Amino acid sequence: MDLKTIENIAVDTAREAGAIIRRGLTKQKSLSMKSSEIDLLTEYDKETDTFITGRLLSAFPSHSIKSEESTTEKREPGNQDDDYVWHVDPIDGTINFVHGYPIFAVSLALYKENEPLVGVVYDPMRDECFSAISGRGAWLRSGETCQSIHVSTANRLVESLLATGFPYDRHQNRDNNISQTAAYLKKVRGLRRSGAAAIDLAYVAAGRLDGYWEFRLRSWDVAAGVLLVGEAGGAVTQTDGQGFQLMSQVSLLASNGHIHDPMLAVLKEVNKGP
C-alpha cells in the first residue's frame, strides 16, 4: 500500500476518533490515576484507543500498535511487515480534556525500523488535522481545505513564541523543567504551556510556534509531531543537541531550525548551574 493511502486511512481514523472525544467533552467522566495523582485516565482514553486500534488493525493486519493505553501485537505474525509499528496517543492532553479546556489531540504515526513514514495529529475542537508523509511534506486539513504547512522564519529568541510542558513527576522530582522555563522566559517574546505535546509540535510545524522543548516525554506523545516538524522544514534534536531517535522516553527540542542553536544554548547554560 502506498504512503498516501496509508495517510488517508490515518486521517480518517483520527477524525473519527476525534468525534468520540468531542462528544465526551461535556459528559461526566470517571477518572482513574496512572503514574501519579495528577496523571489521569478517563473512559474516553480507553474508548478512543479501542476504536483506533481496531480500525488500524483491520486496515493493516500485519502491523503492530504501541498505544499509550494498550499494546497490540500484529495479528498475522511472521509476515514481511514485521517492522511496521503505529505509535498511538488516543487523547494527548487528557488533563485539559478532564477540565473541559479545549486543547487536546489524537496522535497517530507509522514507523518502520524506527524511521517515521506517516504522522497525523488531529485537533477535534478546531477540526484541524495536521499530517505528514516522509519525504513529501506536511499539510493542514480543515473541513474541505488542505494546505501545505511550513515552519516560521523567526531567527532571534526575542521575536519567538515558544512552548513547553512539565512531567507528571514534577511534584517529587527536582528535575522538573522549572529553571529552564525561567531562563527561556527572560529571553523570548512569549511562552505557552498548552498541555498537549502533539499540538505543540504540530504548531511548530505550522509556524504558529517557533520552538518547543520538553523533558521525559513518551514515544506516543511525539512520534507524529516530530515527522510534522521535519517535513515542514524544521529541526528536531534531543535536548542535549544529539540526533533525535524515537525511544520509549524522550527529551526533545523542536524548532523552525533558525533558533535551534540559541534554544540549545539556553538549556546548556542552565545545565551548568549558577
Give the interface with ligand IPD as residue ranges (CB under 6 A). Answer: 68, 89, 92-94, 165-167, 195-197, 214, 217, 221
User: How far is Cα of residue 264 from the mean position of the Cα atoms in its chain?
Assistant: 20
Question: Does 7 help bind Ca ion (rule: CB under 5 A)?
Answer: no
Question: Does 68 help bind Ca ion (rule: CB under 5 A)?
Answer: yes
For the bound state, the minimum distance from the C-beta of residue 214 to Ca ion, rounded and expressed in Å, comes to: 11
Contacts by 2-5, CB closer than 8 A, 24 or more apart: 3/117, 3/118, 3/133, 3/134, 3/136, 4/133
Identify residue 86 by its one-letter amino acid code.
Answer: W
Task: Point out which residues pair with 119 in neighbouring strands.
Answer: 109, 132
Please state the three-class secondary structure of 23-74 as a single string. HHCCCCCCEEECCCCCCEEEHHHHHHHHHHHHHHHHHCCCCEEEECCCEECC
Binding string, residues 178-217; x marks residues near Ca ion by CB under 5 A? ----------------------------------------
Q: 128 or 221: whose CB is closer to ligand IPD? A: 221
For the bound state, the minimum distance from the C-beta of residue 145 to Ca ion, rounded and expressed in Å, comes to: 27
Strand 64-67 and strand 31-33: pairing?
A: unpaired
Return the one option of ligand IPD, Ca ion, none that residue 196 interacts with (CB less than 5 to 8 A, by type): ligand IPD
Question: Does 47 help bind Ca ion (rule: CB under 5 A)?
Answer: no
For the bound state, the minimum distance from the C-beta of residue 193 to ligand IPD, rounded and expressed in Å, comes to: 8
How far is Cα 269 from Cα 263, in angstroms, rounded to an integer?
10
Return the one option of Ca ion, ligand IPD, none that residue 93 interacts with (CB less than 5 to 8 A, by type): ligand IPD
For the bound state, the minimum distance from the C-beta of residue 214 to ligand IPD, rounded and expressed in Å, comes to: 6
* Site stretch for Ca ion (CB under 5 A), options 87-95, 180-188, 226-234, 239-247: 87-95
Q: 216 or 258: whose CB is closer to Ca ion? A: 216
Q: 92 or 210: whose CB is closer to ligand IPD? A: 92
Q: 92 or 231: whose CB is closer to Ca ion? A: 92
Q: 217 or 235: whose CB is closer to ligand IPD? A: 217
How far is Cα 159 from Cα 157, in angstroms, rounded to an integer?
5
Q: 97 or 258: whose CB is closer to ligand IPD? A: 97
Site residues (CB under 5 A) for Ca ion? 68, 89, 91-92, 221
